[in-house]
Chains A and B, each alone.
Chain A
């Protein structure tokens, strides 16, 4: 291994000399405490190293040792339900060793080494078979919710010369050998390692034709995200990014969720951990933590590790995607990662781009978002998996023209723009219906319309009403509402119903936190039906006040609180009441 010496220390950046033979992105151990760092550039025999731990106390001249390895993740059973830092050190194990404060220089295996897992071998596989990357060797039921598939690691091709039977194994026990030719045998284990910056291979990409059902009405109905899609959630402070990302990881219909807290709050992480243990998966009744992985690199932890936390999250996501699962990964917040990039770049004295960010900001963001996708997985049996990525963006001053937001927009399919003004009015989720968009609408409409024939038409009409409201409000602000004709006033009423009784969804309400697709579409149908019927009444000469006084309106406002299984009958009653009360207004001589 290469052995050099520290030449300069400047915050998280260390320059080492005598580093000939090292490679860019190689992991190195810095100083006597062997802090973990990664080479991010070479110049002659000098290596520029970003150090993932606090560098205080390091001295010029201390040793720097190369590892020969790229920064890699450990992938295997024992990964679920755990909290890792950006270097994949399990934080709860660290607590046992060094107490409640994060200390540097701690070396810990990512996956438990002594735990034995019950391995069930894939009975279709025999000694002598040719194996390829991704072939499923067997399974481990890691949690009640997740069957962990043990796959031939990428890069391993050859003939299976030995394979273990059903039994209990640790992640390091050999469960088989592959003859890769040239007389070389590769040992197979329950676990393998993969460099975090390198996308994991798959067979082919598939079109994102299925929606990721999230249970948030405004997303599922207005701005859908596809399985394998990419979404960004920009918004000023307090606009609801974290709540939305946490809500997604709680309710989205996925098999695996990965929550990356990157440069954000410690209390938020603690809250997420606690609520994932408490909250139950709606289908199985098991704690949500059983299908989740947490990566926590809070804002006061070393900045350079923000980058590794994001790539670690993506790598774990791809690993479960390769098993044929639908995976959601959320990163809160990508802006903090970009800021870490800016800080390192400044210390490297690179030529700054816009607002001091390095010129490669865009390509680095692309490397991240492009790892999302729905794919045909490598190996047999044949399977498809998806990795959906949602990244929060924290624009300074809530100004979306800044570089991180703008560069992100180039790579994503759904923009979920949060509006501080809406949040201040307590319209939650504070998703701006005027700025947000989804490029997946047309493709996903096919899926929705098979189940709910009017999905697209209703969506478009609702958005149009909101758009029209926006125009009318400008007039109202100038001349007051009285100047508008009754038909416009009714439209404003409808827009208000859509906003308050449909779009607003309290993430902490025991029932309304999650809204299944049937209920989402049903609620929209009720609101639009009321609007259409009311318009009919107005045209028949019924005064607006009479329509406004209808008691059914208060009932519509309380649809949110209706339990899912009771909703179909409530909906039927509401539709009936709407028709009857409007008809009686028209027929009952209410018309002047």
Chain B
């Protein structure tokens, strides 16, 4: 490969994170370049447009201090690759996979292209293994399965990181002792957030199962474009090479999208909605689609990206495009948070699309799906009556309506609310659900089959126990 290394000694112009150089023959689209500054510092970059005359280079680290006269640009002849190895477990890296924990460099087992390759849709195995997180709101209502991509839509100041940490701490697939790993990518977050996460991971005691990539708010913006891909490349290596079940937590994807917008503006592209580039859907898809299971392979990649919705607006392009790609979303509610409910999961806006394949007889329990539907329906009714009674008062409500009102409160306090260190089994979760449903008239339970009512409704259970 060294024969193909080419070098240009003069840049035409530098702006934002882009460097324009005179093209020389043989430059490859997408290849990696090393930009050496007058000071001797070297930065990595990538060719994002090339013609006979000009090559446009996106420089990781930005072009500050680049002297167009003194810079040297070396073309490496290959696309961006990172070293991957099992030894990465337990280590901390920056956004380009360079160790930042003071430990030794990684001896690569392999070099992997950070863009990965799309999984052949015909080779995918539909995800169906239930992951028990021990959190009722998630396990009972928005179950996660291995190979799913399920984001948390949060807002500034909401406890998304605590929830993600709890999931990482508690998640397990029941009855299986398989190899499990967590890949954590901190994208442009505050030092506190990164620290909080690392601490809580460390406290779980199995730090050797975790690979962390950290790009704090102070790190170069452009590295944020690379970091999710670097993290996923590592996750894929662990999953597909070593058969591990990898959970990838990425926070905060909003910072990633901001970086993408910045880059697009530097390229002088026509801006789309709210200034984000028109190809943001496709760009995000090349990240989120790297979750899944592959037929005939042991491992899996499950993604839990976290993003903060600007101004809590779910129609903002960042949550909107994410929702169009991921398999559902867990939305946090500021109202519930204010009420002191933890985790403050907005039940009506949240959804897990792969839930139906992961629950039911043999997986969780036969009544799971029906209980879920009935709880949601009852809570929806309760919410509606809450709004109504705010206007007309509770006096005009019927007995039935009052029961629904009470149900909505109970549901929030008993079912959704739980301790940050409390782990509930799926049976406990469903039983709490039944306890609440039992406060409603039995004929209201239209979404539950008669058999399941007879089997699980506390009224009949008590009777059969009494006998």
Taking Cβ atoms with an 8 Å cutoff, the residues of A that contact B are 7-11, 15, 55-61, 83, 91-92, 94-95, 99-103, 236-238, 261, 263, 265-267, 269-271, 273-274, 296, 298-301, 303, 336, 339-340, 342-343, 346, 352, 355-356, 394, 396-399, 424-426, 476-482, 500, 508, 554, 557-558
Contact = CB atoms under 8 A, between A and B. Distances in A.
21 contacts: A8-B50, A9-B29, A9-B49, A57-B29, A60-B23, A61-B25, A100-B296, A103-B117, A237-B324, A238-B353, A266-B121, A266-B124, A270-B124, A298-B121, A298-B285, A300-B282, A343-B279, A424-B348, A477-B391, A479-B392, A480-B388
Contact of A300 (B279, B285, B316, B373): B285
Contacts of A424: 348-349
Contacts of A9: 29, 49-51
Contact of B122 (A55, A92, A355): A92
Nearest to B30: A56
Contacts of B26: 59-61
Contacts of A238: 323, 328-329, 351, 353
Given A61-B26, A346-B278, A267 B124 contact: yes
Contacts of A61: 25-26, 52
Contacts of B348: 424-425
A352 B127 contact: no
Given A10-B49, A270-B124, A479-B392, A346 B289 contact: no
Contacts of A265: 289, 325, 327
Nearest to A261: B121
Contact of A91 (B31, B122, B269, B270): B122
A15 B29 CA distance: 13
B2 interface: no
B120 A426 contact: no
Given A91-B122, A300-B290, A426 B297 contact: no
A101 B27 CA distance: 26
B36 interface: no
A270 B278 contact: no
Interface in B271-296: 272-273, 278-279, 281-282, 285-286, 289-292, 294-296
A356 to B, nearest CB: 5
Given A60-B52, A100-B297, A336 B281 contact: yes
B278 A339 contact: yes
B29 A101 contact: no
B127 to A, nearest CB: 6
B278 A271 contact: no
Contacts of A500: 446
Query: Which among B28, B124, B273, B294 has the highest number of chain A CB atoms within 10 Å?
Result: B124
Contact of B289 (A15, A266, A554): A266
Given A59-B28, A263-B282, A271-B357, A426 B377 contact: yes
A58 B79 CA distance: 11
A57 B120 contact: no
A342 B354 CA distance: 31
Nearest to B325: A299
A101 B391 contact: no
Nearest to B346: A424
B428 to A, nearest CB: 24
Contact of A397 (B148, B315, B328): B315
Contacts of A557: 446
B51 A15 contact: yes
Nearest to B389: A480
A270 B121 contact: yes
Given A303-B279, A356-B270, A426-B373, 13 more contacts: A8-B49, A9-B50, A9-B51, A266-B289, A267-B354, A269-B122, A271-B357, A300-B285, A300-B290, A343-B282, A424-B349, A482-B396, A508-B356
Given A7-B51, A346-B270, A356-B270, A102 B29 contact: no
B317 interface: yes
B28 A57 contact: yes
B126 A266 contact: no
B289 A300 contact: yes
A272 to B, nearest CB: 9
B29 A55 contact: yes
Given A299-B285, A554-B443, A102 B118 contact: yes
Interface string B438-456: 0000010010000000000
